[in-house]
Structure 1
Amino acid sequence: MNSSWEKCATEFDPDPDIAGIGVVTAFITASCLAIISISLYLAIARSGLNIIEAPSVRPPPRFGFAESVNPIDDWVRRNVSDPFVRLLVRSRWIRAHINQLKRGLYSFVITLADTQLVTAMAILCTAIIELQREEISVYHFMTATNLAWLTSGVHILTLYAIRVETKGGLSNKPFHYQSDDRSFLKKSALTSSLGAEMICRIFAMLILAALLLYCTWITGAGGWDNYDERLASCAIGMKKSGSPLSWLIASYVLLIQGYTIQCLSLWPAVSIWWMNRMKKSDSHDRVLGAPKNEQKRRWWRLIFMPLYYAFNSEALGVLLFDGVLWFGLGVWWIQAERIYVLGAWEGMESESDIEGLDLFRGQGAYDSGQTSQEVLGRGREMDSDDTEAPIRLGSVARTAYPV
């Protein structure tokens, strides 16, 4: 038992604006749709097929952007994206409208992300305001944080789609690579830069990330996961320890790593510099026919390069780290917390009912023939009587379900 938490007041009032079943379902459904849409979009956009002109030929790379040197992404592109697009274009209608389909998926993804962005910022701001006013329980604050966690995962996945859109993807038109054409260089530089609208969107995402980092910091207080009915404001200034601290560190690593890598990769200069650096590093390790002393790989490369490929793989990011894992953690946290708290608070409500009625019996205010409405009416009469001590019924007079 934590003495600091035991001194805190309890908060049983339901808050359907944060933990209502409709709110939770809406967030989870939107996240599911976003993950599916982003996966479909990337499968089409990352395909190396020139659909109309030459189905079996990969178009030359867009100027200024090095192709991925990640072998995981190359394998997924050859064995997943290309076969999937070939399957789609068996339909003549889809073949003729493949670019419209890609743009439609991208617009749908951006719409979902923008909607969740505004909603998540609103729910976090509400939770923080109630935290400062000491009006929100640990359970409701944690639910708000978990819902925003789901949204942040969608935003990181959206950055994958934005990166593909700004750097170019599948095209049905023949492409002519003109590295010496100055007008082409100027046009490429203009089209590859991020627009003001996109910069504003990314800035808003970073604001949400900052709010989420603050709320996550609050949830790291020792004993946080054992006092769902206490006021969340009690955690401010508490020492971070135990399993809440472990989850705090894991959440910070995932958030900072995800947002930093994806945001930096959107800027052409950073992307080109990093890709060229990694390509040189990788080519030095794969030289054939070189002397033995040049073929020897440093021990740290044997560890670093596979980890780099895994954690920076677009395919693994969407399908595992930033997609299924991120989404799965969010849903698991929400449902596990909800099931546990519902069961615990229902039991507490039953106990409060019994204690309240026993208190009435002791003061002669209740007998077995009275209905619950008569009991509550009698309680209000006794509360208004200055000569008798007021009686508090706890959850007898209100529902304590965390909705």
Structure 2
Amino acid sequence: MFLSRTQTPECNWPILPNQPAHTHVNGTLYCWNRDLDTSYWIHEHAFSCLNFDSQNCVCPRLKADPEVAGIGVILAFFITAFLTVISTIFTLLITRTDGPLSPDGTWPPPFSPAHPPTLNKINHVSRQYIARPFIVFLHSHGVNIPVIAACATDLVISLSDTQLVTGLAVLVGALASLYRSDHDEPMSVYHFTIASDLAWFSSTTHLSSLLVLRYHPRISAKKGHRPTHIRPWTVRLPLTIRLVLMAVFAALLLWATTLGGYECWYSIMACPAKCTLTHPWGGEPETWVAVNTVLIVYGYSTHMLELSVTARKYWLDHLRPHVLTRDNKFPVPRLKQGLVGMMVSTARMLLFCFWNALGSDLCDVLEMMVWFALGCFWIAEDRRWGQAEMEGEHRQAENRLGYGQLIPIVLLLLPLIAVVESYAHHSEADKKKRFGQCSCGGCEWHGC
């Protein structure tokens, strides 16, 4: 179930009495009057939800909507999400090393006060055996690590905000089109499904990119550290805007998810999506609604708490020393602790393993890659189902790079421009810092 969504044969549109081989002729639909036991034809624009409820007419032919399911739109979403995933992984590799590499090629000593090691055991291993060798490799080839790290971080933050705003725009447009659907241009189940898939694609990659954002120097909550050189409102305003947009995005995503719970949702791709809203949930679509609701609530609540400076400081300073062990050693239940003590130690041991797994960057990266692959698969699968019900001219219209589809592809140049500008800024700042003229503007790797 978690790899594909199936079309239920029992939900196929019923065959009407005396149904001809061609049920769509010159823009008209074949219908059957059950009271008079006679057939009749209506124009496809006259098809309404009353016809859908009574199933006395076949659904209209599925028409192309390149603005939603066009190949250009899909490619733009895919490329942006791919860049977000790759840049996030690259940024984590060059910034999660428990301290910078010194000019002589050595690392800070363990438990250094300036750069204490991570408490997460999985993070410790991945940083020692994956991130640090990668940094040494780049350093040996003459790469300016501080500048590249700052540029990569800026790129991830830019792409993260792009994914958030784009996904929000897709959901707003899809929901508005759904409820404003009229008889002339009703939004089909297929196109609403594609819009939901694209929103999910943006959501998962955006949440994954927060791995970098939550440790950004101006956002992260380090014990005893407060950015005194920046006025509080300049720190809180961008973060507050992101949190508000995330809350709105999560609410709209929940809304769109619940709309797809109709038991025959995946078997009526050509029918108007608005007509399914009054029908009961059931089958696999209902299961997906439950699964997606849990994922949305869990994913957004945890990531929003991690972005909150107050919540992170409270966890680091007050909860973690009591929930886990104070010395961060693996808690082993012992018989001499007694029954209550063994139960507490067992609970701490399970929580310790759970926290090390879910709180590690390595597991987050693996989860990000899995969701990216599933998002690509679901979009391709749903698009294949929908285009199988289209006539040739409409199928070609969605596969043709028209004016409206070239725009999102051309807009992909914006991240490239941002990277060039960021590199120019940080390179100049790094040169000035070497001559002692200024700091590098909040860079994680250096400070004057």
Indicate the TM-score class for this superposition, using the shorter chain for normalisation.
Answer: 0.7 to 0.9
State the distance in 2 between where 1:399 and 1:225 align: 20
Greater CA drift, 134-143 or 212-221: 212-221
Residue of structure 2 in register with 1:166 after alignment:
217
8 Å contact 1:166–1:192 — kept in the other structure? no
State the distance in 2 between where 1:400 and 1:140 align: 13
Q: Deviations over 1:70-96 (max 9, x none)?
A: 22222212221122112111123x1xx
Q: Aligned residues, how many?
A: 335
Deviation at 1:327, TM superposition (A): 1.2
The one-letter code sitting in structure 1 at the alignment partner of 2:170 is I
Matched, 1:219 2:272: no
Query: What is the CA RMSD across the aligned residues, in angstroms?
Result: 3.4
Matched, 1:203 2:253: no
Question: Could you say what secondary structure the match of 1:399 adopts?
Answer: helix
Question: Could you say what secondary structure the match of 1:124 adopts?
Answer: helix
State the distance in 1 between where 2:333 and 2:294 align: 41
Deviation at 1:62, TM superposition (A): 6.5
Residue of structure 1 in register with 2:405 after alignment:
none
Residue of structure 2 in register with 1:146 after alignment:
197
Greater CA drift, 139-148 or 53-62: 53-62
Matched, 1:242 2:237: no
Q: Which has the higher Rg, Structure 1 or Structure 2?
A: 1
8 Å contact 2:64–2:394 — kept in the other structure? yes
State the distance in 2 between where 1:132 and 1:192 align: 39
State the distance in 2 between where 1:139 and 1:23 align: 15
> CA separation of 1:155/1:400 partners in 2, compared to 1, >3 Å: closer, same or farther?
closer
Picking from 323, 341, 345, the partner of 1:281 is 323
Matched, 1:320 2:366: yes
Question: Could you say what secondary structure the match of 1:165 adopts?
Answer: coil
State the distance in 1 between where 2:361 and 2:229 align: 24
State the distance in 2 between where 1:178 and 1:280 align: 16
8 Å contact 1:62–1:168 — kept in the other structure? no
State the distance in 2 between where 1:74 and 1:293 align: 30
State the distance in 2 between where 1:178 and 1:150 align: 35
State the distance in 2 between where 1:402 and 1:143 align: 16
8 Å contact 2:171–2:199 — kept in the other structure? yes
Residue of structure 2 in register with 1:296 after alignment:
342
Residue of structure 2 in register with 1:376 after alignment:
none
Matched, 1:26 2:67: no
Report % sequence identity: 26
The one-letter code sitting in structure 1 at the alignment partner of 2:194 is T
Picking from 321, 334, 340, the partner of 2:385 is 340
Deviation at 1:268, TM superposition (A): 2.5
Residue of structure 1 in register with 2:303 after alignment:
262
Deviation at 1:217, TM superposition (A): 1.2
Deviation at 1:249, TM superposition (A): 1.9
Greater CA drift, 236-245 or 6-15: 6-15
Question: Could you say what secondary structure the match of 1:56 adopts?
Answer: coil
Matched, 1:119 2:170: no
State the distance in 1 between where 2:223 and 2:304 align: 29
Matched, 1:76 2:76: no
Residue of structure 2 in register with 1:110 after alignment:
157
Q: Deviations over 1:251-277 (max 9, x none)?
A: 222222122111111223311222342
Residue of structure 2 in register with 1:372 after alignment:
none
Residue of structure 2 in register with 1:253 after alignment:
294
Deviation at 1:5, TM superposition (A): 6.4
Picking from 269, 273, 277, the partner of 1:228 is 269
Deviation at 1:237, TM superposition (A): 3.2
8 Å contact 1:342–1:402 — kept in the other structure? no
TM-score by length of 2: 0.66
Deviation at 1:335, TM superposition (A): 0.6
State the distance in 1 between where 2:103 and 2:325 align: 32
Question: Could you say what secondary structure the match of 1:187 adopts?
Answer: coil
Deviation at 1:27, TM superposition (A): 0.4
State the distance in 1 between where 2:123 and 2:347 align: 22
8 Å contact 1:72–1:315 — kept in the other structure? yes
Picking from 26, 32, 37, the partner of 2:87 is 37
8 Å contact 1:5–1:230 — kept in the other structure? no
> CA separation of 1:17/1:300 partners in 2, compared to 1, >3 Å: closer, same or farther?
same
8 Å contact 2:261–2:289 — kept in the other structure? yes
> CA separation of 1:167/1:81 partners in 2, compared to 1, >3 Å: closer, same or farther?
farther
8 Å contact 1:12–1:137 — kept in the other structure? yes
Deviation at 1:188, TM superposition (A): 8.7
Unmatched runs of 5 consecutive residues or more in structure 1? 170-176, 351-397
Greater CA drift, 213-222 or 8-17: 8-17
Question: Could you say what secondary structure the match of 1:296 adopts?
Answer: helix
Matched, 1:99 2:150: no
> CA separation of 1:206/1:185 partners in 2, compared to 1, >3 Å: closer, same or farther?
closer
The one-letter code sitting in structure 1 at the alignment partner of 2:205 is V
Q: How does 1:4-15 map to 2 (within 5 A)?
A: 7=55, 9-10=59-60, 12-15=62-65
TM-score by length of 1: 0.73
State the distance in 2 between where 1:239 and 1:302 align: 44
Deviation at 1:117, TM superposition (A): 3.0
> CA separation of 1:124/1:91 partners in 2, compared to 1, >3 Å: closer, same or farther?
same
Residue of structure 1 in register with 2:66 after alignment:
16
> CA separation of 1:291/1:300 partners in 2, compared to 1, >3 Å: closer, same or farther?
closer
Matched, 1:57 2:57: no
State the distance in 2 between where 1:151 and 1:251 align: 15
State the distance in 2 between where 1:234 and 1:253 align: 26
State the distance in 2 between where 1:5 and 1:302 align: 55
Which protein has the bigger helix share? 1
